[in-house]
């Protein structure tokens, strides 16, 4: 199989499996998505979706958020981990949104990445899911899959993102990255992985990974 044939196999198989793509993080607008993605760092989406309703019941916009103290925010989001950093980030970015953007989330990578605690991946998710701008956020699942499928060298997420953008058509990035996340969770987990169910890796994956799996 050529690399282009592998890419087409991935696209076709993921479209068959996920013709409708659920959004992993519950939200109602760009601001609540931004906060949810920020909270998801080193935390599962399931846990984030349990915590955000508690936070958004008190503040689902930057104007209400800054009425809370950092300590109050931290107490609510503590189960998500990294609460000291995340609470300061939420409070700080909310102040900036009010002062600089009239309470609105900026519609640019530059504007988003200037906000406290917002990195490139978070900005990419917001641009993609909130504003429909083509982006390819790379999380641990996508990073793992691109390596297993021999479509990236797996050295770092920056290189993985570049490889994904180079290989896959820009018009499907926003759907494809979500399809890959769901596939990674359901069929190609980091642990308790069953290669026989992981049809994409079994078909196009690195031979060393496949051979090592069956040697176990």
- Write down the pLDDT at residue 22: 86
175, two tokens: 């759907």
Same domain, 99 and 149: no
Pair 15, 34 in one domain: no
Question: 47-51: which pairs have CB atoms within 8 A and are 24 or more residues apart?
Answer: 47/79, 47/80, 48/80, 49/25, 50/79, 51/76, 51/77, 51/79, 51/80
Task: Report pLDDT digits (tens) over 129-185.
Answer: 999 999 999 999 999 999 999 999 978 999 999 999 999 999 999 999 999 999 999
- 87 closest CA partner among 44, 45, 52, 117: 117
**Co-location of 69 and 87 in the same domain:** yes
Confidence band of 35 (pLDDT split at 50, 70, 90)? very high
Q: Are 119 and 155 contained in the same domain?
A: no
Residue in 6, 74, 86, 139 annotated catalytic: 139
Joined tokens for residue 92: 């700080």
Across the range 82-98, mean pLDDT stands at: 98
118 and 204 fall within a common domain: no
Domain count along the chain = 2
Per-residue model confidence as pLDDT tens digits over 189-199: 999 899 999 99
139 is catalytic: yes
Q: What CATH number is associated with residue 45?
A: 1.10.340.30
CB atoms near residue 183 (< 10 Å): 22
Average pLDDT over residues 195-214: 95
Compute the distance between CA of residue 152 and CA of residue 135 in angstroms, rounded to an integer.
17
Q: What is the pLDDT of residue 155?
A: 87
Q: Are 43 and 81 in contact (CB under 8 A)?
A: yes
State the pLDDT at residue 23: 86
Same domain, 45 and 116: yes
What is the domain-level CATH number for residue 182? 1.10.1670.10
**Taking the mean position of all CA atoms in its chain, how far away is CA 207?**
28
Domain of residue 207 covers 3-21+137-215
What tens digit of pLDDT does each residue of 106-116 get?
A: 999 999 999 99
Query: What's the pLDDT score for residue 113?
Result: 97
* 49 and 86 fall within a common domain: yes
What is the structure's pLDDT at 159? Answer: 96
The confidence band for 33, taking pLDDT boundaries of 50, 70 and 90, is: very high
Out of 6, 74, 121, 198, the active site residue is 121
pTM: 0.92
C-alpha–C-alpha distance, residues 24 and 199, integer Å = 23
């Amino acid at each position: 199989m050529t690399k282009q044939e592998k890419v087409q196999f991935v696209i076709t198989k993921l479209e068959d499996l996920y013709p409708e793509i659920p959004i992993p993080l519950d939200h109602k607008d760009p601001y609540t998505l931004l906060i949810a993605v920020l909270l998801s760092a080193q935390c599962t989406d399931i846990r984030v979706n349990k915590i955000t309703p508690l936070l958004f019941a008190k503040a689902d916009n930057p104007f209400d958020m800054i009425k809370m103290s950092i300590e109050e925010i931290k107490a609510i989001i503590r189960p998500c981990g990294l609460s000291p950093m995340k609470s300061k980030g939420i409070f700080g970015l909310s102040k900036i949104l009010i002062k600089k953007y009239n309470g609105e989330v900026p519609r640019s990578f530059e504007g988003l990445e200037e906000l406290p605690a917002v990195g490139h991946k978070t900005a990419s998710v917001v641009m993609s899911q909130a504003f429909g701008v083509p982006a390819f956020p790379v999380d641990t699942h996508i990073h793992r899959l691109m390596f297993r499928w021999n479509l990236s060298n797996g050295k770092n997420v920056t290189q993985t993102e570049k490889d994904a953008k180079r290989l896959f058509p820009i018009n499907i990035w926003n759907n494809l990255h979500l399809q890959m996340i769901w596939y990674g969770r359901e069929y190609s987990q980091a642990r308790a992985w069953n290669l026989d169910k992981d049809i994409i890796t079994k078909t196009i994956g690195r031979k060393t990974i496949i051979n090592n799996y069956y040697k176990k």
